[in-house]
Amino acid sequence: MSSGDKKAARPARPHGAVREFLKLIVELDSSRFASSRIKAGLLLLGLLAAFGLFGYAVAAGLSHYL
C-alpha cells in the first residue's frame, strides 16, 4: 500500500492584516536599517493608538445610549 495517494495537510498561514502585523513585528526586531525599524515601530504605535481610540469611542458611545 502506498501512502502517496494522500496529500499532506499544509499548516494554515496567516493572511491579510494578521500577516502584515506579524511582518511589522519581525521587521521591527530584525531589520538592519534604523529607518526600517523606526518606520515599523511608528506603524505599530499608530495601530495601537487606533485600537485604543476605537475602544474608547465604542465605550463612550455605549455609555451615551445606556
| Grid cell at residue 18 | 494578521
Pairwise pLDDT comparison (5 vs 21), residue with the higher score: 21
Structure confidence at residue 11 (pLDDT): 67
Q: Could you state, in order of their start, the residue ranges of all structural domains in the chain?
A: 16-65
Q: Quick check: 43 and 31 in contact, CB under 8 A?
A: no
Q: What is the pLDDT of residues 7-55, one digit of tens each?
A: 667 666 667 888 887 887 887 778 788 888 888 888 889 989 999 999 9
Q: Indicate the pTM of the whole model.
A: 0.60
What's the confidence (pLDDT) of residue 58?
95
